[in-house]
A and B are shown apart, each in its own frame.
Chain A
Amino acid sequence: MLSSTLVTRWLQAFASPGAGAVPAPVRRARTALRVARAVAEYAWLPLAALGAWQLASATGLVPAVAMPSPARVGRAFYDLLRSGELVRHVAVSLARVLEGSAAAAALGVGLGIAVGLSRRLERTTDLVLQVLRPIPPIAWIPLAILWFGIGELSKVYIIFLGAFFPIAVNVISGVRQTEHRYVEVARILEVSRWRFVRHVVVPGALPVIMSSLRLGLGIAWMCVVAAELIAASSGVGYLIMDARQLSQPDVVLVGMITIGVVGKAMDVALRRLERRVVAWKVVYAGE
């Protein structure tokens, strides 16, 4: 205990000589500098890409019909935002994504745990899962319309299909990674099956379960455009396909970027949750 505090102190002293004697304004300035540097690390690549794009458009290197300039896209974004159209489309798509991926999470995690625990259930479900898995959700559209009509349910179903398989398959392998040494401990302590699953298997698989949920949510956003090919009159996917027919590439780009940004925001939220529920795990955070 003592030695680790000493080491920490020594490291601090090494990092900023005389840290204890630094006046508060200087310390605040240093913190601000550190934050600014971190922000710059995140921002420089997108900003550079944006600059190159604008430059390519301004010099006529890229024709505006194929790829409108960032300024044009920004303008379209502003217009869509002001008219309230963008918010409406995002809200509709968000609801579909949340419903589809919530259903996929519930069924995928449930089935994944059950199959992971039982070899017999694995043999029963293996062919069904592995044959259905490679079929792209877009190929399901005709059947989805026949089964669920052209309302919300068929769209949610397409999103569900996209997110379900990766979640189920990952959860199965997460459960199967339960460490043998923990299984032995549970055997020696004669723990009941249910408590073994509840307190050993599920917590052990939780890191994999959480990352499979992030994966599933990402795929759900990928599927939203396919889902909104089905007689939709709203949603970001609809916005994109509608703008395609009206030859508005700037609006197409607004739709695309919006999906990316909302997807990223939801991933950040899930990562926060992940860090909280698997706080016990010491992870490799990269260099």
Chain B
Amino acid sequence: MRASEPRTVGGVPGAGDLSIERVGKVFAAGGREFEALRDVSVHIREGEFLSVVGASGCGKSTLLRIVAGLESADRGAVRLGGDRVVRPGRDRGMVFQEHRLFPWLTVEENVAFALDGDPSRASCDVVQEHVALVGLASFRHAYPHQLSGGMAQRAALARALVNRPRVLLLDEPFGALDALTRIQLQQQLLRIREVERTTMVLVTHDVDEAIVLGDRVAVMSNRPGTISRMLQIDLPRPRLRSSYEFVQLRRSIYAEFFGEAEEPFTYAI
């Protein structure tokens, strides 16, 4: 629906765009100041998928937490559809690296909790639809400790989506999963995006994941964290990790981290 609405061109803010404007953040640690983010600006169009890739500690999670409203920016601002983000809210769904499901609620109750914090709405249609959307219909009565890591992360995804947020923020959501499950979930995420047309921002340290999923990839560099390069990914979907163009993109992103050396390793799946 939203995808068919006229999109903005040339950086003019659209109604549902997410705009990160010159964001800076400084942490105090051990009596010393530490600049986590400096002058980060990105404009994410409504319905777009932005991947942010960077080494651990580059501030990419901090950036996402600022967009979520869990942290505040020391400089600059984040705007969603023109409104300044000052606190967390249901218009921005979030999936963390750990599933963060409540262990005392079943899968469907966890998803229902996202609706006004009311687990008793578990049987409601929108909850069941989202449980089914992530393929957990037959596990809807299971408790988190009975789920595999991939299943728990899918439940967390359903919980983040059930409010139909304008933006879905993904903080290394598949980082703790094994490579096979990770690829499965990446495919599932793309499928869900086709259905929900949600704007998504993914933070990851997995370069392949960033390219497979993103319409654009922002490469973040360290100390202070800032976007060192922005790549437009125009490959058709589904994207083949072994295609020439894919390999070229991967190589140029690795070059950002390691200079022009050969890429240090490849996936052999």
Contact = CB atoms under 8 A, between A and B. Distances in A.
A199 interface: yes
Contact of A191 (B68, B100, B117, B144): B117
Interface string B121-145: 0000000000000000000000111
B181 to A, nearest CB: 14
Given A181-B96, A188-B94, A195 B118 contact: yes
B98 interface: yes
Interface in A164-200: 181-182, 184-192, 195-196, 199-200
A280 interface: yes
Interface string B104-132: 11000000011011110000000000000
Determine chain A's interface SS by DSSP, over half rule.
Answer: helix
B209 to A, nearest CB: 23
Nearest to A194: B117
Determine chain B's interface SS by DSSP, over half rule.
Answer: loop
| Interface size, A (range) | 20 to 34
Contacts of B89: 188, 190
Interface in B59-108: 68-70, 87-90, 92-94, 96, 98, 100, 102-105
B102 A199 contact: yes
Contacts of A150: none
Contacts of A196: 117
Given A181-B100, A182-B100, A187 B70 contact: yes
A204 interface: yes
B148 to A, nearest CB: 9
Contact of A280 (B69, B87, B94, B145): B145
Given A189-B113, A189-B117, A204-B104, A280 B143 contact: yes
A280 B68 CA distance: 29
Which of B68, B104, B114 gathers the greatest number of chain A CB atoms within 10 Å?
B104
A195 B94 CA distance: 20
A182 B100 CA distance: 7
A19 B212 CA distance: 50
Contact of A199 (B92, B94, B119, B143): B119
Contacts of A190: 88-90
B37 to A, nearest CB: 19
A187 B116 contact: no
A282 B145 CA distance: 8
B114 A189 contact: yes
Closest 6 CB pairs of A and B: A191-B117, A195-B117, A203-B104, A188-B88, A187-B88, A280-B104
9 contacts: A182-B100, A182-B102, A188-B69, A188-B88, A189-B90, A192-B116, A203-B104, A203-B105, A280-B105
